[in-house]
Amino acid sequence: MKKFIVIIILAISLSVAHRQPPTNIHPVLANDVEQFIEDAESYGIDTSVIKDSLDYITPFPISDYLYGVYTPFNRQISIHMGNCSNPIILKAVVYHELGHVFGIDHDSGGIMESGLHPLFITVRYSNPLTWKLHKKALFTEIKRVQDKK
């Protein structure tokens, strides 16, 4: 009986540990990162590819004109927290940069569009339906790329 209880406790602790984002991610970024992982997994995406990058998501003032940057060389994501003080912009930037980790390039519309004015991002993604549609398009593309491999 004791072995059975120990196994259950171990299984529960492992599942809880798996769901928690790495502790060295800035707390403001951690929520959006965790939400991205949950969303991706709900689309059947293998999120193990981003595990190496999760320890390298940093709040960093890159430039007044940049919101986020993904550096493939060291698999690092840098987010300019000053430019992303609006939670809608921050979430869009986190999803955009994590899209790059999966090998998704910029496109002409949606979450992977680059160079958008912050006001445009805020207005676009203040509409939950638009966010949902663009998020679905992003994860559909990630899944397509993953399935090709």
Domains and CATH numbers, the chain: 23-148 (3.30.2010)
Which range is least confidently modeled, 110-114, 121-125, 136-140, 145-149? Answer: 145-149
Alpha helices in the chain (DSSP H): 2-19, 27-42, 51-54, 87-101, 118-126, 128-148
| CA atoms of 76 and 18, how far apart (whole Å) | 21
| CA atoms of 108 and 132, how far apart (whole Å) | 17
| CA atoms of 112 and 98, how far apart (whole Å) | 10
Question: What is the number of alpha carbons within 13 Å of residue 146 lying toward its C-beta?
Answer: 20
CB atoms within 10 A of CB 133: 12
pLDDT in tens, 69-85: 888 887 778 888 777 77
Q: What percent of the chain has pLDDT over 70?
A: 74
Token pair listed for 135:
């998020």
Query: What pLDDT does residue 74 have?
Result: 77
State yes or no: pLDDT of 92 exceeds 80: yes
Query: What pLDDT does residue 9 have?
Result: 39
pLDDT in tens, 117-133: 888 899 999 999 999 99
